Structure 1
Amino acid sequence: MNIQEYDILNAIFTTTNATQRSLADCSGHSLGIVNRSIKKLTSDGYLTTTMQPTDRAIALYKHSVPQNAIILAAGFGMRMVPINTETPKGLLEIHGEALIERIIRQLHEANIHNIYIVVGFMKEQYEYLIDEYDVTLIVNADYASKNNLHSLNLASEYLKNSYIIPCDIWCKDNPFHTHELYSWYMVSDTQTNESSVRVNRKMELTAISKTAIGNAMIGISYLSENDSSYIQQRLSSLDNDARYDGCFWEEALYNHNRMVIPARIIPGSNAVEINTYEQLRELDEHSNHLQSDILQIAADALNGNQEDICNITVLKKGMTNRSFLFDYQGIKHIMRIPGEGTDQLINRRNEAAVYQTIQDKHICDDIEYINPENGYKLTRFLDNARVCDPLSTEDITKCMNKLRSFHDLKLKVNHRFDLFGQIDFYETLWEGKASVYRDYQKTKAEVFALKNYIDKYAADEVLTHIDAVPDNFLFCTDSSGNEDIRLIDWEYAGMQDPHVDIAMFSIYAFYTREQIDQLIDIYFNGNCPDTTRIKIYCYVAVAGLLWSNWCEYKRNLGVDFGEYSLKQYRYAKEYSRLAKKECIDRNLL
């Protein structure tokens, strides 16, 4: 039986006094397809000559009852800034009704009551659904580092005649039914360049290139019992492969660039995926969630109205913060929102004091608002800007010149960044947990053994950036082609040996010793004393342990930085050994 025949048989069961015309209207197929399908269904024993279902058809229909639904609601919903700082995406309200509650209600209308919801980010806000709707919550503890392929795999044991539903879909009409005769994946007739599939003439979903136009992917799917076992195996296999950590669950549907289940096409107006603040505003301009405190702060800082803020888009999530870009009166601005646990990591009063110190020095980006209590920061967006390429000698030369000229200003603030003290402090944030590194205590002892040498050869302390990494150097070009370099993100800045900034640049760029030496030579114009070079090696080791401890704290909050954290720990170990060896070779200990 092909899809058209399944559709016609289903329409016969759901249509009173069915005629070929009414079946065409109900199924969306042409009269020619309806006529051919009826003939085939009759010859195969599913219909009588009077178009009545036979016992064989009735048995098939009774067996084709959806058993449950799995709702995927674990992710950050990163594109929903600023709303996702207050509410998980599944609980956004459209016309006074939470998205996930609308989905549950529509499932109940189709007599589906076994509902599993995979939660992660702000999972506590979904807890009330257990009592309100008798749902089961499945917790994805790895929501920060893995995508919804992992979420669905956590619920894969329930895959059997199941609906799979993203929590951020608003459907005008109920997409669920009391009977489903075959598996399908829902797309709309809307064409978009954001899709990865296209429907062909056989109703198959075929993969397309990133630049091609395809059918908008709604994301709702139904898996019959016959297809579930294959998908379960695929989910398990892919979830155990780290290369797929960032993948959507749809990856499990592909076989040789084609989905193994057919398309179900709906009109584009029937379903809306709420991915952004703008999409929410378009669907319900009176939604309570549009009244964001963060947007009001931005509007007040610009002496304007929240309604005039538009074109909100999320920027790449940083290691410490979330940020979003928006337009106000034709000018782009960036609003920074502190990330998870940053209240423990950053002293926002100190940060505000740093910006006050450098505000007239043409060093950083243009600050329009900063709150020393919660860390919200508003800056004007720098057009035609790019970050430093750490593999470009020309770029790093310009960056080191900028850094040296900043250090030469010898600016002062009233707080200090204590490298060794911060290592201990981050360790206390682990709340009694041991380090994930089995030789941590040995490594820490070797790093701390460098302190005497550092103290002996430390330069006079000045305001130091501390986080002077390649991504924080912005190369800006104006309309006349003039280039300017701005150093951004001063959260950790404080009084310290300025040569710490050289070490920080190096370890973030994952430099080798040869590259670190080149960077040192550029900063010092080839005149770096051996004692200072060794001191910078010491700072590489200290900074490596510092950020490794920082990563361990963030990992405990569900935020994992993968290769970055491992490499920082390697810098701590390898450069503490190197610095010690260099000191011994030169009789400096």
Structure 2
Amino acid sequence: MTMKALGSALSPMEETIEAIILDAPLFNGGRGMVYAPVSGGISNENWRVKNTDGPGDWFVKVPGNGTELFINRAAAIDASKKAAAAGLGPKVHDDLGDRGVEINDFLPGHRASNHGDFADLETCKTTVRAYRILHGLPELVLTKTIFDMIDEHVDQVRDLGAPMYKDSDWILLNTAIARDAMTASGFDLVPSFNDPMPGNFMIGPDGSIMLIDYEYASMNDRCYDFGIWFGEMFFSRERELALIEEYFGEVRQETVSRVIVHKALADVKWCLWSMVQLKVSRLAFDFHKYGMWKKMRARSIMEHPDWPTHLRRL
């Protein structure tokens, strides 16, 4: 990773991080500070800042353009601090928190996971234990179920004039049916991560796991965390059942169905999110391709003959 000195900015994003380094008291007016981008995120502009004159190594998250539409930064910092207090996430610094900028201690001894790491059952079980800690955190300040997320994005797509996939009416009808079924059965609200991209699981040298990036965290249904995680990692049905048993102590059909329904709903949310990002983001990422893939997978679950059965079991 090549670090740059202050005053060498060549792009608007580099100009933004240099201004933040100068403004944050933690960075001592920029003296001795160097910076470099951290790749992997598709919401924000992420940076590493180091002090060449002494100790200090930080991860700086600069809110991505337009992300205030769907990210509550105060709630994200609240969740990050509660996770850090439980030993689940890195230390959070308050500098510029009022501007939505989040500064954490960098984790040089950890590495971001990848999909291949989750082929290992023990890594998955360690992650389940991390989720158990997360779900036991003090109540978060933000309650936002998957249906709240979907409603928010539907309104944003319309307001922004963002593209809408051709079969949106059919998918949103099935989403409404799932909402009725889930509401009738009741929500099991717990502090939820809601964003299990592989890069958000940091693996330590001892195999332990810390979670980073709590910007989508909220009080949400417990099974949503498993639905979105299982979908993100492309687990086999056998692996999914093993992890459900690891967390819940048994495999109940209603739990399996609840996870599967949430898997489909997660893909609906992220498809809509991608359409919003097409209009507002300045990141170099193919949001249209990402969103269409999410949409097709949601449809594959909703079109399956077992979909009505899963809804009845909720």
Q: Do Structure 1 and Structure 2 share a fold, with TM-score over 0.5?
A: yes
- Give the whole-Å Cα distance in 2 for the aligned partners of 1:458 and 1:378: 37
* 2:110 aligned partner: 385
2:299 partner SS: helix
- Shift of residue 331, structure 1, vs aligned partner: 3.2
Classify 1:582/1:510 alpha carbon distance in 2 versus 1 (closer, same or farther; 3 Å).
same
Question: In 2, are the aligned partners of 1:322 and 1:338 still within 8 Å (CA)?
Answer: yes
Written as runs of structure 1 = structure 2, the 5 A alignment for 1:305-320 is 305-310=29-34, 312-320=35-43
Partner letter of residue 362 of structure 1? G
Classify 1:400/1:291 alpha carbon distance in 2 versus 1 (closer, same or farther; 3 Å).
closer
Partner letter of residue 327 of structure 1? K
- Give the whole-Å Cα distance in 2 for the aligned partners of 1:529 and 1:507: 19
* 1:357 aligned partner: 82
1:316 partner SS: coil
- Shift of residue 489, structure 1, vs aligned partner: 0.6
Question: Higher RCO, 1 or 2 (CA under 8 Å, sep at least 6)?
Answer: 2
Question: In 1, are the aligned partners of 2:74 and 2:97 still within 8 Å (CA)?
Answer: yes
Written as runs of structure 1 = structure 2, the 5 A alignment for 1:497-576 is 497-525=221-249, 527-557=250-280, 559-561=285-287, 563-576=289-302
TM-score normalised by structure 2 residue count: 0.84
Aligned length: 303
- Give the whole-Å Cα distance in 1 for the aligned partners of 2:196 and 2:291: 18
1:446 to 132, 152, 174: 174
Bigger fraction of residues in strand: 1
- Give the whole-Å Cα distance in 2 for the aligned partners of 1:455 and 1:83: 54
Deviation track 1:216-273 (CA, whole Å, cap 9, x = no partner) reads: xxxxxxxxxxxxxxxxxxxxxxxxxxxxxxxxxxxxxxxxxxxxxxxxxxxxxxxxxx
- Shift of residue 393, structure 1, vs aligned partner: 1.6
* 1:325 aligned partner: 48
Written as runs of structure 1 = structure 2, the 5 A alignment for 1:426-441 is 426-430=153-157, 431=159, 433=161, 435-441=163-169
2:151 to 406, 424, 428: 424
TM-score normalised by structure 1 residue count: 0.47
* 2:192 aligned partner: 464
CA RMSD of aligned residues (A): 3.1
Deviation track 1:120-160 (CA, whole Å, cap 9, x = no partner) reads: xx7xxxxxxxxxxxxxxxxxxxxxxxxxxxxxxxxxxxxxx
Question: In 1, are the aligned partners of 2:127 and 2:209 still within 8 Å (CA)?
Answer: yes
Bigger fraction of residues in helix: 2
2:183 to 429, 447, 455: 455
Classify 1:356/1:397 alpha carbon distance in 2 versus 1 (closer, same or farther; 3 Å).
closer
Written as runs of structure 1 = structure 2, the 5 A alignment for 1:261-410 is 292-298=18-24, 300-302=25-27, 304-310=28-34, 312-328=35-51, 329-369=54-94, 371-388=96-113, 389-407=117-135, 409-410=136-137
2:76 partner SS: helix
| Identical columns (%) | 19
- Shift of residue 421, structure 1, vs aligned partner: 2.2
- Give the whole-Å Cα distance in 2 for the aligned partners of 1:343 and 1:378: 17
1:292 partner SS: helix
- Structure 1, unpaired ranges of 5+: 1-78, 90-121, 123-275, 278-288
1:327 partner SS: strand
Question: In 1, are the aligned partners of 2:81 and 2:92 still within 8 Å (CA)?
Answer: no
After superposing on structure 2, the runs of 4+ consecutive aligned residues of structure 1 that deviate more than 4 Å are 79-84, 512-515
Question: In 2, are the aligned partners of 1:503 and 1:537 still within 8 Å (CA)?
Answer: yes
Is the radius of gyration larger for structure 1 or structure 2?
1
Classify 1:353/1:290 alpha carbon distance in 2 versus 1 (closer, same or farther; 3 Å).
closer
Question: In 1, are the aligned partners of 2:134 and 2:193 still within 8 Å (CA)?
Answer: no
Classify 1:521/1:561 alpha carbon distance in 2 versus 1 (closer, same or farther; 3 Å).
farther
Classify 1:588/1:533 alpha carbon distance in 2 versus 1 (closer, same or farther; 3 Å).
closer
Classify 1:432/1:382 alpha carbon distance in 2 versus 1 (closer, same or farther; 3 Å).
closer
- Shift of residue 390, structure 1, vs aligned partner: 2.3
- Give the whole-Å Cα distance in 1 for the aligned partners of 2:16 and 2:265: 45
Classify 1:512/1:360 alpha carbon distance in 2 versus 1 (closer, same or farther; 3 Å).
same
Question: In 1, are the aligned partners of 2:81 and 2:91 still within 8 Å (CA)?
Answer: no
> Given the alignment of the two structures, is residue 492 of structure 1 paired with residue 227 of structure 2, yes or no?
no
- Shift of residue 513, structure 1, vs aligned partner: 4.4
- Shift of residue 309, structure 1, vs aligned partner: 0.7
- Shift of residue 382, structure 1, vs aligned partner: 0.8
